[in-house]
Copies of this chain bind each other. A is one copy, B any other.
């Protein structure tokens, strides 16, 4: 079980975009900040755009920027946008193929093993849905007060 690596990149990029409001940042610059492969990060940002988390503008002075307020972007939103909506544990309803299996019943709901795995994963999703980008940004600014200004300056410096 391995989550798509792009989730980490997307989360960090969204946090950085919070500190660069009112401007579009190209994928190449966001990638250069962490020395990431630019083309691949671009692919992830495209997924965020399709999900309505970012908005993109092509051409010179173009790039990506947040499409919503940070308070309205949950960590789960980004995970789903990059990693897909499917659950990790997928009940294949093997009880149906066993003796006494019924073709009509939905074993995803009746099977107690499925229920156990499902509720655990649902709570995981709930926790990630409660955490917003704004929360993370606030914690970073409280823990490392210099980070926002440093980040802003780094991107400004690259701009020249």
Contacts and interface: CB of A to CB of B under 8 A. Distances in A.
A120 to B, nearest CB: 4
A22 interface: no
Contacts of A89: 3, 7-8
Interface of A: 1-5, 7-9, 11-12, 15, 33-36, 75, 83-84, 86, 88-92, 94-95, 97-100, 112-113, 116-117, 119-121, 123-124, 127-128, 131, 136, 139-140, 143, 147, 150-151, 154
A4 B1 contact: yes
Given A91-B8, A94-B8, A83 B34 contact: no
A99 B1 contact: no
Given A3-B90, A112-B139, 4 more contacts: A8-B94, A34-B98, A35-B98, A75-B117
Contact of A8 (B36, B113, B119, B121): B113
A5, A9, A94: which has the most chain B beta carbons within 10 Å?
A94
A32 to B, nearest CB: 10
Contacts of A124: 120-121, 123-124
A75, A89, A139: which has the most chain B beta carbons within 10 Å?
A89
B97 A35 contact: yes
A84 B33 CA distance: 33
